[in-house]
Structure 1
Amino acid sequence: MKNYKNTLNLPKTDFSMHGNLSDKEPDILSRWINKNLYKIIRKKKSGNKLFILHDGPPYANGEIHIGHAINKILKDFIIKSKGLNGFDSPYIPGWDCYGLPIEHKMEKIFGVPGKDVSTIKFRKMCEKYVNKQVEIQKKDFIRMGIFADWEHPYLTMNNEVESDVIRVLGKIIKNGYFIHDVKPVYWCVDCKSSLAEAEVEYTNIVSTSIDVKFSSVNHEKIFNIFGIRSKYSHVYMVIWTTTPWTIPMNRAIAVNPKFTYQLIKVNNSQFLILEKSLAKSSLIRMKFSQFKVISECYGYKLEFLKFYHPFMNLSVPVILSEHVTKDTGTGIVHIAPDHGIEDFLISKKYKIDVVNSVNEDGRYKFNVIDELKNVSVLKSSKLIINLMNRRKAVLSINKISHSCPFCWRHKKQLIFRSTSQWFISMNRKNLRSTVINEIDKVSWIPKYGKNKIRSMIINRPDWCISRQRSWGIPIPIFFHKRTKKLHPKTLEIIEKIAKLSEKFGSKIWWKLDKFELIGHDIKYYKKSSDILDVWFDSGSSHYSLLRRNNKLSKHNIDMYLEGSDQHRGWFMSSIVISVAINGVAPYKEVLTHGFVLNKKEEKMSKSKKNFITPAEIFEKFGADILRIWVSSIDYKNEIVFSKESLEYPIECYRKIRNTVRFLLSNLYDFDPNYHLIKRNNMVEIDKWIIAETKIFQKKIIYFYEKYNFYKVLQCLVHFCSIKLGSLYLDIIKNRQYTLNSNNIARRSCQTAMFHILESLVRCISPILSFTSDEIWRKLPGERNEFVFTEEYYKKLFSLDEKDKFNKKFWNLLLEIKIEVNKSLEKAKTKKIINSTLEATVILFLNKKIRLLIETVIKEIHFFFLTSKVLLFDIDLSSSDLESSRISGIKIFIKKTEGKKCPRCWQYLENLIKSKNTEGYICDRCIENTEKNGETRRFF
């Protein structure tokens, strides 16, 4: 081999076998930043059809985790693949800046605003903290190769965004959806604030459940309704509850008007009223072994009956409500208007006032009985049960496991508590039904997302958008001290504050003198000190995005992409606000991904500190490994991640990189300006691989368009390792290495490899952004500086079906090759041959197949990677010769007689003395080294 090395076209490249990504990527990134790549892309794509993916703002608090990485990388896949498809897809990143986690963190350092530190100073400290967090997170996002307008992100605390949020509030007020009410809301005693639906997590806990009897005020009236007479006077309605702490606020008992209720005699002298289908299980639970059903009636007949509270000196009415079910309990529900939405609504219908007996700390106020004053409601069950036991009102005490709402920040159980708040009414002007109609127009990926958010909208209460905190965007309104009605000039005030906020920030609201805004009306109107729910801030961002970008102002947002928890969060707040101000959904498509779980399948979260940071991955393996891992997962389901999860994507990366390296290493002397071969002059197998590359690229485009990124990766790996690595690249090595360097057949092969790389580098660029940039700079020929400004490669072609060497021909040939390879492996096993180049393949063929193969017979041994192929009629085959899987073909393998050519390694009968070397080589190699070079037409 030493003598012939200089006569061969052996591959060479400085594109390394190993990626060394963690070393290379920072330099590539610096180049992107220094060149302002994002701006270059925007300039190149300007004027193209727009595709807008609106970034759901992550919370600006703490380092990013794998969930953040998945989210941003998925978005990057879409942005970059849309660019390849001819779209202009600007991407403006955002951050959610307001909210309790930051406020609590700052309180620990500076104290309570308005008490230990001024509100203005406190807000400045919060702002400083947020800016620092944004820079920390931004640095990691950029390191992962995410392309975005990082110089101009939107922050919900930016003046412009704040002013737009205030304008959105003005539009909602103008359109009549903004109301004041005293309603039960989710309340966290640690936050000392109401919580939005999106801030509530449900957790299974074990609670105390009790059956409690309410004694009748007028037993004779009850007996008349049930149509009986009795000398006994002890008649009770029995309720079942898992929240004993709410019983002090009980003001009614609810039955379903359509249910049947039974009057049941127990202990010979007491009568209990229970729902018919639940009576038996209830009596067993209450340990009544002997009982007798006396009579029954429909629930509606019990309306307005009065019963005594089990331990307070008051009587409560029976009211009718269809929210009473037969799922559990007694079919009778105790009603505490302050502490449940259904309770509140039905109480409002019956004009039963709220009691408001629980303070912001979750403790009973002084308007309840003395024993309960200042007691924590969540620790009061035993005390309340003891109070009822004094009157023998408790009929059973049990433990039950059930789902309860918890604060997503503090992981503490929430309570419902009635407070004076500002709401977006879901039922005014058919807002709820309009939102549902708009949901039906949106494309939801996965499809179950549609029903998920639909059911949430159907069942959700009015949206409480006010918070009694310091760190947030103010609700800049004045309301009447007595009636709570808004000041007549509210819309003017809001626009004035919006304009001032644009200049000075929304904090200006707290600095402005009341008299300057409403003059002498300050006698009657109160200045709001509430701030907006953070979900209102982020939910308004679509308005700000389109308003602040002239290019986008006439274009609707195409896509929202976030975790599956955002159906009740950002997706919901955005569509409610958009419909309320514009009448339409803010998005055309919504794509969701699952949560990230660790290898124990526990949810990764900051609070549990059970997560791996993206930095740990890209500092060790490189960002492209993290990116290819994201492409490998079925993100629509929950995602299990551990360090072992990287093994498969690393192997995929290796296969792709090695394929690219081989292609590049064989283009070292190729200049497309001089060496590109026209289609008609190309070797047939080179035409075939270009056609296969076109099919491959078409699949890649389809999978990107469908957001099936794991299919993109599968397609890439299959093409690189099977179609190229195990087939085409093996076949062309002989031609590429042994022919004269400028032989047209060799240049044909290089032309094919050049076209393959032009397509492949584009197809991988959304996923392997750093590696594709490295490849792009190694490709021969003049080109734009960055692959990311390009579109899919357009110089590929398909096979002509009218051509003799069409897809049908190649499919047959490939089927035959599979059968030949099987026979070659068997021959190796039997020690007939040591390598395929030692083999002579004898094909026994029917007439139709033989006529096809005869056209390429002189070169087909290159296709089979053998030294010789002989054709015979199938009728001449031995009867004991094993049949192939293909009808009309039998295969026999024998060892080739002759010697191995030391230059091309083919086995031939005769070797010839070389003029240029000391040894003997085959006539082909003589032709290629000493003469004009051989001709290849097919392989």
Structure 2
Amino acid sequence: MEYKDTLLMPKTKFKMRGNLPNKEPKRQEHWDENNIYEKVQDRTKGRPSFVLHDGPPYANGNLHIGHALNKILKDIIVRHKSMTGYHAPYIPGWDTHGLPIETALSKNKKVDRKKMSITEFRQKCAEYALGQVDGQRTQFKQLGVRGDWENPYLTLTKDFEAAQIKVFGEMAKKGYIYKGLKPVYWSPSSESALAEAEIEYHDKRSPSIYVAFDVADGKGVLNEGDKIVIWTTTPWTIPANLGISVHPDLEYVVAKVGEDRFIVAHELLETVAEELSWEHPEVVKTFKGKDIDKVIAKHPFYDRDSIVMLGEHVTTDAGTGCVHTAPGHGEDDFYVGKSYGLEALSPLDDKGVFTKEAPGFEGLFYDDGNKVVTEKLEENGALLKLSFITHSYPHDWRTKKPTIFRATSQWFASIKDFRQDILDEIKEINWYPNWGETRLYNMVRDREDWCISRQRTWGVPIPVFYGEDGTPIITDETIEHVSNLFAEHGSNVWFEREAKDLLPEGFTSEHSPNGIFTKEADIMDVWFDSGSSHQAVLLTRAGHQRPADVYLEGSDQYRGWFNSSISTAVAVTGKAPYKNIISHGFVLDGDGRKMSKSLGNVVFPSKVLKQYGADILRLWVASVDYQADVRISDDILKQISESYRKIRNTVRFMLGNLADFDPKTDRVSDAELEDVDRFMLHRLQQLVKTVRESYDKFEFSPIYHAIHNFCAVDLSSFYLDFAKDILYIEASDNKRRRSLQTGYYEILTTLVQLLSPIIPHTADEIWEFIPGVEAESVQLTDMPEPREMINLNEDKWNHFMKVRDDVLKALEEARNNKVIGKSLEAKVTIVPKDAETKEVLESMEHLHQLLIVSETVVTNNFVDAKEYRYVDVAVENHPGEKCERCWVSSETVGEDHDHPELCTRCASIVKENYSAQ
């Protein structure tokens, strides 16, 4: 007889190798063909809704690793909620308007917009955007993200645009929308105004100049010819200078240097003197800033006055305490100039080129003007010093080129009118991480009015008409009519029709006695588009609601989508559009560096999928503390792959040992379980509790570590290891064997359910091999609830596991000292050090099996035992012979004459179950 044929060895077709890059696409096809998303929604219909509202990525280009982190996090949350008592639909969205699409058409597609009408160009933009949506949708699905991919929300669709118009109209109705001349961030490279959310900061090398303005009328405080010293890093703004600002309460001095008398803040005199190489400046006069209010200085090269003004914005952080003021090129400058009746002079056109309002510089690009203006100052004797500095400077986040402040007539949303309402709402939201509340609160608190108009083509038009006298016309009637037109025809209708054909039939206005109207040419900021999604999506899609339960985006969205969404929602409804805000950090390389093509350290999701598979990438997402910046590299992914392999092999072992197990007939009740199986199921319940609590707190790395630790320590190093002597050796329906299989079955199904939100491809694959499961997919089941295990002495087992650690150390030392080879060659004598340990060991059935040795002796004394923490242990080579079937060393080998190579235990099993062989 071949004794190996009498062993119940593991049998399963579940492969050891995941082969994820090849298997996952087929599984995704299977999900599509079987409408798994719809089946999940049907199963959970009627439950309380949980809505994670998708922040729309921009529809341009392939996905980067940040996209993958974001979408996988969302998918984990939505999948978990649909398995824990909620109806959790997921509608993906895309931001489809804006300059990058216009630029991509011009540069990449070689579209000449000058050779076509606005509507033709907009149609090209729409086609391009939809193509980008298709490409990104395919890539998101490859990540295993489950959602209503056939019905996403897009900011270019008719229904979305119509809803956005209503948001604008409601804000206008409440008086929050106005048109005004103010300096705004202006991008010469985009030829458009920008919002704060469209600004990013990069280092820029700029000229640093000190300039003297001669006093013309000192108002009895200063002498004619005294020189007020200013400092600036934007020489190009000097042609727009109309004044000099000083702080009313700062102390200023007249400092005599040679024959010249210079005015600077007293606190900065030493610094300025060092910068300008003044030797022993003599203070001949001190006064407060308010004493020189309305003093008149001369512009350094134009025949016009530069008035001294009082401004609270002046500081002594840098410069001279006397601030060059160009009301058309700075926010503080604008407001202080306005209070003194100065115009907002801005002698630049949309491209950043000087106009005729800057004589001598007309036709010059503003940045090139720095050198020419500086030369002019030097020529006139006004330049005191020129040097260069590198400093952080605002750039257009799309073109990556520097911006300027430029006074233009723009449409604004008056944040100040409902700022306190936003701040109050921020306090009511749950923040993950907690510092998010402070970050958004401070941003809103310090935010100026929101410039919502853009001088572009591809976007939602600002639905404003103008009367013959230039008065803007926004009424409930016009808003409703335009919204309905957009709902029927799309926003292209605004460009296709004349103003009169966009107005309600028979519309009249006191501002147009002759019935002649014009329409606004500007479009809305794209942040107004996505910021209106709470109206366009949450109020219209099945299963959705406002406020949403969660908005989850990168930490850059505190100034972006989180900000624009709460601004429009509070303006329209008085309430925030979300209950919880979750933000994640940026993805860095393995050394903690920002990814860049020039460094060659960019990790592309597509490459990770081809090399490792989506579930490895998803497991990486679950492993990191995503609320901070995270790292990824090939080495990190290899470590994740090892963890995945550990989980997969653990699962495979359990599946193999359930080959002859039918849960309907072979399952053992809790009351009949063996004590060790009861203990392991208790450990499983602890795992379930930990995992579910972490899911509920949106913390996934504790889940990853808890499950990995459970597989590696509780299972592989203990429960799966000692059990081989029962599962392989005993008869199929042996009570202890069925008890073990019952434990395996519950552990296996539970682990798969706990892991399903994180590694759904693998979870579904495992599910197909589990005997007796009824649901076609683990996605169509609910997470297990932790339960109480009856008749368990947990303290006993926890103490035994500590004692076991001592014995394992003794076995390892014996192995190193060549006393034994494998642990089954060992006979172990154990001397308990205390009554509790003695009681625990003596209560343990099958102690030698639990310790995977051939024999254990528990005694009160043993001379050669080595001392450990809880027990003294002696390890010796077992004197018996090795059984050819179970490999246990036993002195009973040979006692059965029919099977002399076997121990009596194995001989009995063989006779009872395999005698026919």
TM-score range, shorter chain: over 0.9
What are the superposed Cα offsets for residues 316-363 of structure 1, whole Å, 9 maximum, x if unpaired?
Answer: 211111111111000110111111111112212222111131101101
After superposition, the Cα gap between the structure-2 partners of 1:263 and 1:148, relative to the gap in structure 1 and judged at 3 Å, is same
Instruction: Report the counterpart of residue 475 of structure 2 in structure 1.
Output: 490
After superposition, the Cα gap between the structure-2 partners of 1:735 and 1:306, relative to the gap in structure 1 and judged at 3 Å, is same
Instruction: Report the counterpart of residue 237 of structure 2 in structure 1.
Output: 246
Instruction: Report the counterpart of residue 894 of structure 1 in structure 2.
Output: 876
Contact kept? 1:655, 1:721, Cα under 8 Å: yes
Instruction: Report the counterpart of residue 321 of structure 1 in structure 2.
Output: 311
Q: Structure 1 residue 389 and structure 2 residue 378: aligned?
A: yes
What secondary structure is seen at the aligned counterpart in 2 of 1:546? coil
Instruction: Report the counterpart of residue 367 of structure 2 in structure 1.
Output: 378
- TM normalised by structure 1 equals 0.93
After superposition, the Cα gap between the structure-2 partners of 1:565 and 1:854, relative to the gap in structure 1 and judged at 3 Å, is closer
Equivalent residues in 2 for 1:145-184, closer than 5 Å: 145-184=144-183
State the distance in 1 between where 2:681 and 2:845 align. Answer: 23
State the distance in 2 between where 1:854 and 1:493 align. Answer: 85
Relative to structure 2, which stretch is displaced further, 591-600 or 398-407? 591-600
- The one-letter amino acid of 1:133's match is Q
State the distance in 1 between where 2:475 and 2:424 align. Answer: 31
Instruction: Report the counterpart of residue 522 of structure 2 in structure 1.
Output: 530
Relative to structure 2, which stretch is displaced further, 147-156 or 343-352? 343-352
After superposition, the Cα gap between the structure-2 partners of 1:881 and 1:909, relative to the gap in structure 1 and judged at 3 Å, is closer
Q: CA deviation at 1:500?
A: 1.4
What secondary structure is seen at the aligned counterpart in 1 of 2:101? helix
Contact kept? 1:50, 1:89, Cα under 8 Å: yes
- The one-letter amino acid of 1:499's match is N
Contact kept? 1:324, 1:331, Cα under 8 Å: yes
What secondary structure is seen at the aligned counterpart in 2 of 1:187? strand
State the distance in 1 between where 2:664 and 2:268 align. Answer: 86
What secondary structure is seen at the aligned counterpart in 1 of 2:227? strand
- The one-letter amino acid of 1:278's match is L
Instruction: Report the counterpart of residue 472 of structure 1 in structure 2.
Output: 459
What secondary structure is seen at the aligned counterpart in 2 of 1:265? strand
Q: CA deviation at 1:550?
A: 4.6
Note the residue ranges of structure 1 that are not aligned, 5 or more in a row: 224-231, 934-939
Instruction: Report the counterpart of residue 227 of structure 1 in structure 2.
Output: none
Contact kept? 1:474, 1:509, Cα under 8 Å: yes
Relative to structure 2, which stretch is displaced further, 15-24 or 618-627? 618-627
- The one-letter amino acid of 1:395's match is L
State the distance in 2 between where 1:689 and 1:237 align. Answer: 82
What secondary structure is seen at the aligned counterpart in 2 of 1:619? helix
Contact kept? 2:796, 2:840, Cα under 8 Å: no
What secondary structure is seen at the aligned counterpart in 2 of 1:637? coil
Q: CA deviation at 1:82?
A: 1.6
- The one-letter amino acid of 1:882's match is K
Relative to structure 2, which stretch is displaced further, 521-530 or 781-790? 521-530
- The one-letter amino acid of 1:674's match is T
Alignment counterpart, residue 302 of structure 1, candidates 292, 305, 318: 292
Contact kept? 1:469, 1:531, Cα under 8 Å: yes
What secondary structure is seen at the aligned counterpart in 2 of 1:240? strand
Equivalent residues in 2 for 1:20-99, closer than 5 Å: 20-99=19-98
After superposition, the Cα gap between the structure-2 partners of 1:714 and 1:599, relative to the gap in structure 1 and judged at 3 Å, is closer
Instruction: Report the counterpart of residue 861 of structure 1 in structure 2.
Output: 848
State the distance in 1 between where 2:598 and 2:279 align. Answer: 50
- TM normalised by structure 2 equals 0.96
- The one-letter amino acid of 2:263's match is I
Contact kept? 1:110, 1:122, Cα under 8 Å: no
After superposition, the Cα gap between the structure-2 partners of 1:73 and 1:216, relative to the gap in structure 1 and judged at 3 Å, is same
What secondary structure is seen at the aligned counterpart in 1 of 2:427? helix
Q: Structure 1 residue 499 and structure 2 residue 498: aligned?
A: no
Q: Structure 1 residue 564 and structure 2 residue 555: aligned?
A: yes
Relative to structure 2, which stretch is displaced further, 510-519 or 722-731? 510-519
Contact kept? 1:820, 1:891, Cα under 8 Å: yes
Instruction: Report the counterpart of residue 630 of structure 1 in structure 2.
Output: 621
Q: CA deviation at 1:830?
A: 1.8
Instruction: Report the counterpart of residue 425 of structure 2 in structure 1.
Output: 438
State the distance in 1 between where 2:818 and 2:499 align. Answer: 99
After superposition, the Cα gap between the structure-2 partners of 1:608 and 1:247, relative to the gap in structure 1 and judged at 3 Å, is farther
What are the superposed Cα offsets for residues 427-469 of structure 1, whole Å, 9 maximum, x if unpaired?
Answer: 22xx122212222222222222222222222222211111111
- The one-letter amino acid of 2:472's match is L
State the distance in 2 between where 1:476 and 1:398 align. Answer: 48
Instruction: Report the counterpart of residue 909 of structure 1 in structure 2.
Output: 891
What secondary structure is seen at the aligned counterpart in 2 of 1:38? helix
State the distance in 1 between where 2:338 and 2:162 align. Answer: 36
Q: Structure 1 residue 925 and structure 2 residue 906: aligned?
A: yes
Contact kept? 1:850, 1:871, Cα under 8 Å: no
Note the residue ranges of structure 2 that are not aligned, 5 or more in a row: none
State the distance in 2 between where 1:220 and 1:423 align. Answer: 39
After superposition, the Cα gap between the structure-2 partners of 1:550 and 1:829, relative to the gap in structure 1 and judged at 3 Å, is closer
Equivalent residues in 2 for 1:610-625, closer than 5 Å: 611-625=602-616
Q: CA deviation at 1:245?
A: 0.5
Q: CA deviation at 1:110?
A: 6.1
- The one-letter amino acid of 2:302's match is M
Q: Structure 1 residue 260 and structure 2 residue 242: aligned?
A: no
Contact kept? 1:219, 1:234, Cα under 8 Å: no
What are the superposed Cα offsets for residues 107-150 of structure 1, whole Å, 9 maximum, x if unpaired?
Answer: 3446554x421111111111111111111110111111101111
State the distance in 2 between where 1:602 and 1:338 align. Answer: 39
State the distance in 1 between where 2:616 and 2:542 align. Answer: 37
Instruction: Report the counterpart of residue 268 of structure 2 in structure 1.
Output: 278
Contact kept? 1:215, 1:237, Cα under 8 Å: yes
Instruction: Report the counterpart of residue 342 of structure 2 in structure 1.
Output: 352
Alignment counterpart, residue 334 of structure 1, candidates 324, 333, 357: 324
Alignment counterpart, residue 805 of structure 2, candidates 808, 814, 818: 818
Contact kept? 2:842, 2:858, Cα under 8 Å: no
Contact kept? 1:514, 1:522, Cα under 8 Å: no
Q: CA deviation at 1:513?
A: 3.0
Relative to structure 2, which stretch is displaced further, 823-832 or 92-101? 823-832
Instruction: Report the counterpart of residue 936 of structure 1 in structure 2.
Output: none
Q: CA deviation at 1:611?
A: 3.2
State the distance in 1 between where 2:162 and 2:769 align. Answer: 49
State the distance in 2 between where 1:254 and 1:684 align. Answer: 83
What secondary structure is seen at the aligned counterpart in 2 of 1:441? coil
Instruction: Report the counterpart of residue 228 of structure 1 in structure 2.
Output: none
What secondary structure is seen at the aligned counterpart in 2 of 1:547? coil
Contact kept? 2:82, 2:88, Cα under 8 Å: yes
What secondary structure is seen at the aligned counterpart in 2 of 1:387? helix
Contact kept? 2:221, 2:291, Cα under 8 Å: no
After superposition, the Cα gap between the structure-2 partners of 1:833 and 1:111, relative to the gap in structure 1 and judged at 3 Å, is closer
Q: CA deviation at 1:610?
A: 6.2
- The one-letter amino acid of 2:208's match is S
Q: Percent identical across equivalent pairs? A: 38
Q: Structure 1 residue 696 and structure 2 residue 696: aligned?
A: no
Instruction: Report the counterpart of residue 420 of structure 1 in structure 2.
Output: 409
Q: Structure 1 residue 540 and structure 2 residue 540: aligned?
A: no
After superposition, the Cα gap between the structure-2 partners of 1:850 and 1:192, relative to the gap in structure 1 and judged at 3 Å, is closer
Contact kept? 2:173, 2:475, Cα under 8 Å: no
State the distance in 2 between where 1:289 and 1:207 align. Answer: 27
State the distance in 2 between where 1:762 and 1:611 align. Answer: 33
After superposition, the Cα gap between the structure-2 partners of 1:771 and 1:730, relative to the gap in structure 1 and judged at 3 Å, is same
Q: Structure 1 residue 125 and structure 2 residue 124: aligned?
A: yes
- The one-letter amino acid of 2:362's match is K
State the distance in 2 between where 1:737 and 1:772 align. Answer: 26
State the distance in 2 between where 1:353 and 1:492 align. Answer: 36
Q: CA deviation at 1:382?
A: 1.7
After superposition, the Cα gap between the structure-2 partners of 1:110 and 1:474, relative to the gap in structure 1 and judged at 3 Å, is farther
Contact kept? 1:762, 1:792, Cα under 8 Å: yes
What are the superposed Cα offsets for residues 545-580 of structure 1, whole Å, 9 maximum, x if unpaired?
Answer: 122125324x42011111111111111111111111
- The one-letter amino acid of 1:363's match is V
State the distance in 2 between where 1:872 and 1:895 align. Answer: 18
Alpha carbon RMSD of aligned pairs, Å? 2.0
Contact kept? 2:329, 2:346, Cα under 8 Å: no
State the distance in 2 between where 1:423 and 1:481 align. Answer: 22
- The one-letter amino acid of 1:883's match is E
